[in-house]
Amino acid sequence: MPMTRGSNLGLLKEKLVAAEAITVLTGAGISADSGVPTFRGADGLWKNVRAEDLATPDAFERDPRLVWEWYNWRRELIATKQPNNAHNAIVELERRCPNFWLMTQNVDGLHRDAGSQKLSEIHGNIWKVRCTGCGVVENNRDVPIAILPSCPRCGSLLRPHIVWFGESLSPDDLDDCSRALKHCDVLLIIGTSGVVYPAAGFASVAKEAGAFVAEINLDPTPQSALVDLSLHGRAKDLVPLLLEPL
């Protein structure tokens, strides 16, 4: 007999309560519940230019002003959004579990705004800038941001601290994620379709290390056949339920 959502939820809660180490992976679905557009596909069209054509090193080298105008538009949109109940519930999970790590593919900074501290923002953070000259990374919440922004130290052009198409993820972030995946008792995947690598391979890594893997997503994903448990619904509705008493 197939398990109902209620029994699935109860089993996941049991696994989380018993877990000594919890790792969480989040994607666009959790931010969508705060009203953040995906900036890909139909949501990613800006001035008749696709997001995938702007988020590249070549695009920045060719026309940094255009790229910065696009990122400023994104920053202005994201600045109006707030963490939702799912973001807040993840902060509470971190508080309850000493061996906790959050890995997010989102660049909107909402996890940090909610209070998450043990995390890897594997695709970067739109509220950080990086100098193309001296390489210094720092926070920048200017809305609008000056275009073109320059480094106060060396005068070189600043770029968004984002991992663009064709760029590699930070080795330090990958090391932190690998360690968290290989040593967790539960991997909780929230709001990601599981098609963008390397995050799409995280479930397999955790499973091979013996973790219980669960996903929360609006619809089935390519990972659904691999994970131990799937819950379908909005992150803001389901994730807070995991904190309720058994």
Considering the candidates 111, 123, 161, 232, report the single residue annotated as catalytic. Answer: 123
Measured distance CA(170)–CA(71) in Å, rounded: 21
Decide if 241 contacts 6 (C-beta within 8 A). no
The structure tokens listed for 135 are 């390489």
Decide if 216 contacts 188 (C-beta within 8 A). yes
Decide if 145 contacts 68 (C-beta within 8 A). yes
Decide if 74 contacts 144 (C-beta within 8 A). no
123 in catalytic set: yes
The structure tokens listed for 79 are 């600045």
What kind and span of H or E run contains 188? Answer: strand 186-190
Decide if 107 contacts 162 (C-beta within 8 A). yes
The structure tokens listed for 190 are 């929230």
Which of helix, strand or coil describes residue 12?
A: helix
**Strand ranges for 53-164 from DSSP E:** 99-104, 119-121, 124-131, 137-139, 158-162
With a CB cutoff of 8 Å and minimum separation 6, the contacts of 158 are 129, 130, 131, 132, 140, 148, 149, 150, 151
Give the catalytic positions in this structure: 123
